[in-house]
Amino acid sequence: MALFATQEWSFAQKAMDLLTTNPFHPGWMEKQREVMGESAPNVGDVYAWQPGWGLWGPDTVYPNVVALSDQITEIGDRLRLRLREGAVASEQELALYETLSLYRLYREYGSQMDRWIDHAVRGSRQPKEPDAAPDEPPSPSVKEVWRRFLEDHKDLLHLEGRTFPLHFEPSHLFACFYLFRRAFYHIFFNIVGTSRPITRLRSSVWESIVTHDFRSWSRALYQRMHDFPTLITGPSGTGKELVAQAIGRSQYIPFNPVKQEFVTDFRTAFHAVNLSALPSLLIEAELFGHIKGSFAGAVRDRKGRLEECPEHGTVFLDEIGELPPEIQVKLLRVLQTRHFQSVGANEDRPFRGKIISATNRDLIAEMQAGRFREDFYYRLCADQIATPSLREQLTDRPEDLGLMVEFVCRSVVGEEQAPELAQEVVSWIHCHMHTYAWPGNFRELEQCVRSYAIRKDYHPIPHTPPDSLERACAPLAALLLTRKANLAESERMLFTLVRAGTSTDREAAEILHCDYRTLQARLKVPLPRSSEK
C-alpha cells in the first residue's frame, strides 16, 4: 500500500515549500495560491500588508487559512492511518508527513502561546472577541499546554517502527513554536504599513531571527544566533529601536521539560543602552561594569549591561556611531572572544548574549574620516537591516498614512477613541501638510498626532533642504570677510545657521562633522565679548 495518492503528494510538496518560506516575503502569497489553486479566496489588502500572518500568526479567521489548515489536517489524518496500517514510505514521504504534522501542532498550540505573549507584553489577558463568552476561562498554564502538547506529539509522530527524518525533541519544537509566535507578534504590532519598503523591512527582520532557511536554523543555527551581531541603519526617527526589540525579544529560549518552564523571560532578556545619552567617561562602566575603587565615585562593585544580559538575551547599543574609538576596541574584543573585563578588574567574564547596534550615521564615511574603526565595522555588519524613511513609505503607498496615524492614536487615546481621532488627524494633514516631507520621520508623525490631540494644530520645525542650506551660507561667508569676528563668534554663527536649516541636533552635527553634544554646548554658552573695538 502506497502512502500518498498522486494529488496528496502534489499538495504536500507545495505545502512544505510554503511552510518553509519566509512568511513575510513578498512572494509568499504567490506560493500560497500555488498550493490552493483556484480555490484560493481573494483576501485583498490584508495580505498585501502581512502575507503569511493568518497562516503563521494569531488565530485571525481568514477563509484561505481555514481552507488550507483543514486540507493539511485531513490529508495528515489519512496518512497517519495508512502508516499505522503498514504503508510503505520513502524517507522523502516521511519528511512530508512530518512537516504537515508539525504545522498541525503549531496551529493547535500557537494560539495559547499568543495569549501568554500578549499577557506578558500588555500586562493583561488578550481582549476578548466580540462574540466571546462572558465567562471565558483564563489562558491555560504553560505546564497544562505542555502536557497536552506531548500527548498530541506522541499521537502524530510516535508511530511504531517509523523514524522520521527531522526527529526533533518535543521540548525543542515547543521552544521553536514559542519563538515563531513571539517573532510574529513583535513584527506585526511594531512594524506598520503596506508599502514595499516596509514589506522588505518585515521580511528582513524575520530573517535576522530565523535566517532565510529556518529548516537549517532549527537543526543547528538556533544555538549560534548570538554569534551574529545585527547592525540597524536608517534616518533618525524611523523605528530602529522597535526593530531591535522585535529581534531581541524573539531569540531562541530553551524549554526545560523537567521544570516545565522556559529558562528565560523574554521581557527581561532585552537590555537597551543609548550611548549618546552617556558621557564618554561613563560608557565603559555602563557596558562592562566596574569594581569598587576603580575610579572616583566607584564606592561599590557594579555589574554592567553585558554581565546583566542573560545567556539567551540581547544588548542593544543605540547610536553606535558615536562610540569613542577606545570603547570600539573593547567591544571589538567582546565580539571576537565573547569575553570582557570590568573596569578595574583583571579577570575575564563571559558574554553569552547577542549584540544589536543601531546608528543614523553613514559608517562608511565615518571610517573614511577616521572616526570609526574599520575592523569594528566588519565585526558588526554581518547582518544588516536598513529602516526606510517615512517619506519613502508614503511615496510608495500614500494610504499608509491612515494606518500609521491610527497606530499612534491607539497609544495616545486608547483603542476605542483611536479611529475617530485618526480620521480627524489624517483629514487635517491632507488639508494642511499634504506635500510635507516628514524629515523627522515616524517620530515626528507621533508628535504631530499628540500636538493635534492637544491644540488641534501642528507647526513643524522649518527645514531647509541641503541645496538651500548651501545658498544660505553665502551671506555668512560675506559677513566674515567684511568684519573682524573672533573665532567664538564665527563658530557660533556657523553652528546656529546649520542648526536652523536642519530638523535635529544630530543632523546638524553630522553636517558639521562634530559630536552633537559639542553643537549643543556651542549654542548654549554665551559668546565672549570681543576685545577689539
Residues 6+ apart with CB under 8 A from 77: none
Helix (H) / strand (E) containing 103: helix 91-122
The single-letter code of the amino acid at 331 is L
pLDDT band (50, 70, 90) for residue 476: low
Cα–Cα distances in Å, from 221 out to 82, 133, 210, 248, 332? 34, 43, 8, 16, 22
Q: Given a cut of 60, is residue 484 above it in pLDDT? A: no
Q: What pTM, to 2 d.p., does this model score?
A: 0.81
Q: Tell me, what's the pLDDT at 472?
A: 52
According to DSSP H, which parts of 289-324 are helical?
Answer: 305-308
Residues 6+ apart with CB under 8 A from 101: 76, 80, 156, 157
Q: Given a cut of 90, is residue 104 above it in pLDDT? A: yes
- Closest alpha carbon to 412 in 442, 449, 441: 449
Do residues 275 and 320 make contact, with C-beta atoms less than 8 angstroms apart? yes
Q: Tell me, what's the pLDDT at 277?
A: 87
| Multiple choice CATH, 225-294+301-386, 3.40.50.1980, 3.90.1150.10, 3.40.980.10, 3.40.50.300 | 3.40.50.300
CA 128 to chain centre: 27
What is the SS3 assignment for 364?
Answer: helix
Do residues 293 and 335 make contact, with C-beta atoms less than 8 angstroms apart? no
The single-letter code of the amino acid at 348 is D
> What is the per-residue pLDDT across 212-227, written as a single tens digit (0 to 9) for each?
988 889 999 999 999 9
Q: Given a cut of 60, is residue 525 above it in pLDDT? A: no
Q: Given a cut of 50, is residue 199 above it in pLDDT? A: yes
Q: Tell me, what's the pLDDT at 134?
A: 46
Q: Tell me, what's the pLDDT at 330?
A: 93
Of all residues in the chain, what percent carry a pLDDT higher than 90? Answer: 55
Q: Of 281-295, 330-344, 384-398, where does mean pLDDT reach its minimum? A: 281-295
What would the mean pLDDT of 451-455 be, rounded to a whole number? 96
**275 vs 515, which has greater pLDDT?**
275
> What is the rounded CA–CA span in Å between residue 445 and residue 441?
7
> What is the rounded CA–CA span in Å between residue 62 and residue 54?
7
As a whole number of Å, the end-to-end CA separation of the chain is 106
Q: Of 157-171, 177-191, 470-484, where does mean pLDDT reach its minimum? A: 470-484
Q: Tell me, what's the pLDDT at 491?
A: 76
pLDDT band (50, 70, 90) for residue 532: very low
What is the SS3 assignment for 233?
Answer: strand
- Closest alpha carbon to 121 in 270, 315, 312: 270
- For residue 527, count other CB atoms closer than 10 A to its CB: 12
Residue with cell 498550493: 35
Q: Of 125-129, 194-198, 409-413, where does mean pLDDT reach its minimum? A: 125-129
pLDDT band (50, 70, 90) for residue 194: confident
* Residue 8, all three cell numbers: 496528496
Q: Tell me, what's the pLDDT at 132?
A: 43
Q: Of 144-148, 391-395, 483-487, where does mean pLDDT reach its minimum? A: 483-487
- Closest alpha carbon to 283 in 517, 527, 52, 41: 517
pLDDT band (50, 70, 90) for residue 473: low
> What is the rounded CA–CA span in Å between residue 365 and residue 435?
31
According to DSSP H, which parts of 123-254 are helical?
Answer: 142-157, 170-190, 196-210, 214-219, 240-248
Q: Tell me, what's the pLDDT at 45?
A: 42
Residues in the chain: 533
Do residues 342 and 349 make contact, with C-beta atoms less than 8 angstroms apart? yes
Q: Which residues pair with 302 in a beta bridge?
A: 290
- Closest alpha carbon to 193 in 356, 387, 27, 23: 387
Q: Domain extents for the chain? A: 6-125+140-182, 225-294+301-386, 397-455, 466-524
Q: Tell me, what's the pLDDT at 469?
A: 52
Q: Tell me, what's the pLDDT at 527?
A: 45
User: What angle, rounded to 10 degrees, do the helices at 63-84 and 91-122 form?
Assistant: 130
Q: Tell me, what's the pLDDT at 33?
A: 76
> What is the rounded CA–CA span in Å between residue 396 and residue 390?
10
Question: Which range, 49-63, 136-150, 378-392, is most confident?
Answer: 378-392
Q: Given a cut of 80, is residue 451 above it in pLDDT? A: yes
> What is the rounded CA–CA span in Å between residue 370 and residue 364?
10
> What is the rounded CA–CA span in Å between residue 280 and residue 260?
44
pLDDT band (50, 70, 90) for residue 146: very high
* Residue 267, all three cell numbers: 521581557
> What is the per-residue pLDDT across 293-342, written as a single tens digit (0 to 9) for each?
777 777 788 899 999 999 999 999 999 998 999 999 999 999 999 999 99
> What is the rounded CA–CA span in Å between residue 23 and residue 93?
24
Do residues 425 and 452 make contact, with C-beta atoms less than 8 angstroms apart? yes
Q: Tell me, what's the pLDDT at 422?
A: 96
Q: Given a cut of 70, is residue 480 above it in pLDDT? A: no
pLDDT band (50, 70, 90) for residue 530: very low
User: What angle, rounded to 10 degrees, do the helices at 63-84 and 28-36 form?
Assistant: 60
> What is the per-residue pLDDT across 46-70, written as a single tens digit (0 to 9) for each?
334 444 444 445 545 566 777 888 8
Do residues 183 and 246 make contact, with C-beta atoms less than 8 angstroms apart? yes
**515 vs 419, which has greater pLDDT?**
419
Q: Tell me, what's the pLDDT at 106?
A: 92
Residue spans of beta strands (DSSP E) within 345-468: 349-350, 354-359, 383-386
Region for residue 289 given its phi and psi (left: phi exceeds 0; alpha: psi -120 to 50; beta: otherwise):
left
* Residue 230, all three cell numbers: 545585527
Q: What mean pLDDT value characterizes the chain? A: 84
* Residue 11, all three cell numbers: 499538495
**113 vs 503, which has greater pLDDT?**
113
Q: Tell me, what's the pLDDT at 46?
A: 39
State the pairing for strand pair 314-318/354-359: parallel
What letter would DSSP give residue 370?
T
Q: 428, exposed or middle or buried, with CB in 10 Å at 0-12, 13-18, 19+?
A: middle
- Closest alpha carbon to 164 in 78, 246, 93: 93
pLDDT band (50, 70, 90) for residue 470: low
Q: 402, exposed or middle or buried, with CB in 10 Å at 0-12, 13-18, 19+?
A: middle
Q: Tell me, what's the pLDDT at 67?
A: 80
pLDDT band (50, 70, 90) for residue 486: low
* Residue 285, all three cell numbers: 562602566
- For residue 53, count other CB atoms closer than 10 A to its CB: 21
